[in-house]
């Protein structure tokens, strides 16, 4: 796919990986609709992009709002979802609040809502990219919920790839990325992230723009569907 001149909708497109993807798509010549439930994030993100980007408000868990959004923006060629759906539970599974574990699947429900409601409004050669994470393939203590949801996201893309064809759907699986999701105090955050990355083959934090470039690769690669692309610094190998 030649991205130039195409129309893209990016859910969760006002911070972190989503915003980096919006910027990369605009740079590649796309008209981009960046969607976020946070008005504050939309206002801040608008300062970092050009005239090729417009902003809309919607929550990926609100099906009526999503359906209205996609109908209003139709037709479009590209759908990217980096929306988290909300907080994800962490900690020992045997001590975990099961409601919190279940709530972690809001990310998956956001993705299923988005793909189901968007596909009918997309071009036949359209491309969809979702975001998982390396714990799906490299689980660790305390990450049972995150790992399980990531596996579900990747399995969902494989399960529906044939049904969506000729539209394509793929997943990018990031490692530990330097994004606003890490909200702990700077000193503590830096210590935790340094400890988490030092044993990886590429022992540093990933950057949001590195994941955005992988997302653009999956959009452009017409011979790729139902796949998961690891961009994790080798985290799954450590």
Residue 82 lies in a domain: yes
pTM: 0.93
Residue 235 lies in a domain: no
Strand 206-207 to 177-178 pairing: parallel
Total count of domains within the chain: 1
Domain extent at residue 80: 7-230
Distance CA 45, CA 59 (A): 17
The residue with tokens 């949801």 is 149
The CATH number assigned to the domain holding 56 equals 3.40.50.720
Residue 1 lies in a domain: no
Residue 27, classified by CB atoms within 10 Å of its CB into exposed (0-12), middle (13-18) or buried (19+), is middle
pLDDT in tens, 160-210: 999 999 999 999 999 988 876 555 666 666 777 777 788 889 988 899 999
pLDDT in tens, 106-152: 999 999 999 999 999 999 999 999 999 999 989 888 999 999 999 99
Residue 37: the pLDDT is 95
Residue 238 lies in a domain: no
Distance CA 11, CA 25 (A): 13
pLDDT in tens, 25-42: 999 999 999 999 999 999
Distance CA 77, CA 5 (A): 10
Residue 2 lies in a domain: no
């Amino acid at each position: 796919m030649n991205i130039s001149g195409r129309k893209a909708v990016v859910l969760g497109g006002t911070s972190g990986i989503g915003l980096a993807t919006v910027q990369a798509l605009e740079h590649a010549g796309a008209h981009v609709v960046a969607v976020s439930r946070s008005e504050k994030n939309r206002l801040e993100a608008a300062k970092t992009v050009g005239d090729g980007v417009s902003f809309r408000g919607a929550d990926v868990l609100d099906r009526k709002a999503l359906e209205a959004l996609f109908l209003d923006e139709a037709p479009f060629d590209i759908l990217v979802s980096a929306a988290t759906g909300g907080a994800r539970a962490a900690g020992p599974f045997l001590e975990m609040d099961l409601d919190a574990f279940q709530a972690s699947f809001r990310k998956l429900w956001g993705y299923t809502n988005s793909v189901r409601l968007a596909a009918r409004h997309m071009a036949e050669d359209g491309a969809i990219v979702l975001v998982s994470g390396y714990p799906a393939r490299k689980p660790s203590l305390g990450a049972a919920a995150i790992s399980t949801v990531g596996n579900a996201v990747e399995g969902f893309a494989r399960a529906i790839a044939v049904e969506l064809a000729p539209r394509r759907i793929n997943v990018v699986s990031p490692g530990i990325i330097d994004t606003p999701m890490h909200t702990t105090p700077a000193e503590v955050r830096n210590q935790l992230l340094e400890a988490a990355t030092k044993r990886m083959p590429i022992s540093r934090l990933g950057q949001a723009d590195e994941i955005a470039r992988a997302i653009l690769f999956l959009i452009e690669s017409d011979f790729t569907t139902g796949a998961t692309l690891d961009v994790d610094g080798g985290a799954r190998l450590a």
